[in-house]
Structure 1
């Protein structure tokens, strides 16, 4: 049986001392060895299984039991085609056996407040954040349940590249917007690639925040990641501005990406779409 230490070592790209002889089983094995799937067979996902997975999504915790999210299952061929043509990166997920959009939803409780005769006094930044977190937790619960049943999954942030178009295609009213698209299907290839993560010492802080060793930790991580899975020219960001490197460490690539504005109109869209963000 696989040991936890083997899976943790694969996730971090280095040996760890805290796993001992723990055997990897159940949820720990599933999560430590997971990876996103972008290639699916044509085999459909049965409706009954999909509805069970949606029930798993709704089993996630929700802030104050407000349940400020919705899930759109997109099946209409015209809508899928339109979503796929929105921008680069949306063509393949919309061809998956199942495509979902996980959405923050302020509208539902606004409508219920009117029905109950109460004022809704919380159209603010906190409600925006609560809806995003609720939708994210639901998506995570769906993903782990689906992967536990042998399905492959991949969240899709590109749906927000033209979020106004996505909302129009899916007929999302004011107060409802997608935090992510989500592709689901039976994986074409059995074993997904495990993405090496930042060292635990960089991400986890005990009692107080400490990034005193950030540069050395991330430099070591960049070399480990390059040795395992180099960032090739096709994955390097903004090569027209920065050129192509033989050795492109993770920190170089992600800071390249964020050196140019991304989705700069998002706040303006949200305000137009019903969110005050006050």
Structure 2
């Protein structure tokens, strides 16, 4: 194993959902935004933006969308946005009428810019002693979130990120064995999959059995099976919401 403080910190990553009643200093927020801005960006388009949600009423609405009450509690809430609106505005002011910013290629560029920036921000936050939780659950009702944040055309919320001073120390959640996620030259999933995951399922079962909070008995393969037939109502509308925002119309 490589002896490196950054690698060790990332390997010890734990999602933190409970934060102390201690604000994150504004200068620290600015530093984290600077880190996000220095993330790799496709074609140097910098096609993402970040909204700090500080209004309690808005945080409560987003907590309801996420079905995660802690989102409205202590901690600083960011929402990372795929943003081609800014670049459209630049082009319009320069007299350009052509606009392909809503196509799949440009949308995926903006989505990847925002996603990479989230992870960079998490690494930086944890290096400062903060905890973090990434919130894909903000898309449980994407249209409502767009309305809450008053997002213009050619923007779309990607991920939420709540950070703060940790008020819990959860166990480390086990990850899949490397052979199931790392292949050489071609896709080489070990077959059959489920029997070979028996030991991993047992470790996940133990993790849930021993976890300090939200105790339940579960396995990884059971969670995968449940997700196959689970389709939250509003998530089924994501394509239509994307198109209303001006994306994926081509």
1:35 aligns with 2:14: yes
Query: Counterpart of 1:173?
Result: 152
Q: Of 86, 91, 95, which residue of structure 2 is paired with 1:108? A: 86
Instruction: With the length of structure 2 as denominator, give the TM-score of the two structures.
Output: 0.90
The 2-side partners of 1:45 and 1:212 are apart by 45
Bigger helix fraction: 2
The total of aligned residue pairs comes to: 244
Question: Deviations for 1:8-65, whole angstroms, at most 9, x for unmatched residues?
Answer: xxxxxxxxxxx3xx54x31111100011100110011000111011101111000010
Q: Which runs of 5+ in 2 are unaligned?
A: none
The 2-side partners of 1:268 and 1:235 are apart by 37
Larger radius of gyration: 1
Query: Counterpart of 2:52?
Result: 73
Query: Counterpart of 1:267?
Result: 239
Question: What's the secondary structure of 2:82's corresponding residue?
Answer: strand
1:140 aligns with 2:110: no
1:254 aligns with 2:224: yes
RMSD: 2.0
Question: What's the secondary structure of 1:162's corresponding residue?
Answer: helix
Question: What's the secondary structure of 2:109's corresponding residue?
Answer: helix
Q: Would you say the 8 A contact 2:50–2:78 is kept in 1? A: yes
Query: Counterpart of 1:97?
Result: 75
Q: Would you say the 8 A contact 1:94–1:183 is kept in 2? A: no
Question: What's the secondary structure of 1:86's corresponding residue?
Answer: helix
Q: Would you say the 8 A contact 1:104–1:132 is kept in 2? A: yes
The 1-side partners of 2:154 and 2:248 are apart by 10
How far the C-alpha of 1:258 sits from its partner, in A, is 2.6
The 2-side partners of 1:204 and 1:142 are apart by 25
Relative to structure 1, the CA distance from residue 235 to residue 203 in structure 2 (aligned partners, 3 Å threshold; closer, same or farther) is farther
The 1-side partners of 2:28 and 2:53 are apart by 16
The 2-side partners of 1:87 and 1:224 are apart by 28
Question: What's the secondary structure of 2:225's corresponding residue?
Answer: helix
1:161 aligns with 2:140: yes
Q: Of 6, 13, 24, which residue of structure 2 is paired with 1:45? A: 24
The 2-side partners of 1:178 and 1:127 are apart by 15
Query: Counterpart of 2:171?
Result: 193
Q: Which runs of 5+ in 1 are unaligned?
A: 1-18, 237-245
The 2-side partners of 1:227 and 1:95 are apart by 29
How far the C-alpha of 1:181 sits from its partner, in A, is 1.2
Q: Would you say the 8 A contact 2:130–2:166 is kept in 1? A: yes
Q: Would you say the 8 A contact 1:104–1:135 is kept in 2? A: yes
Query: Counterpart of 2:185?
Result: 207
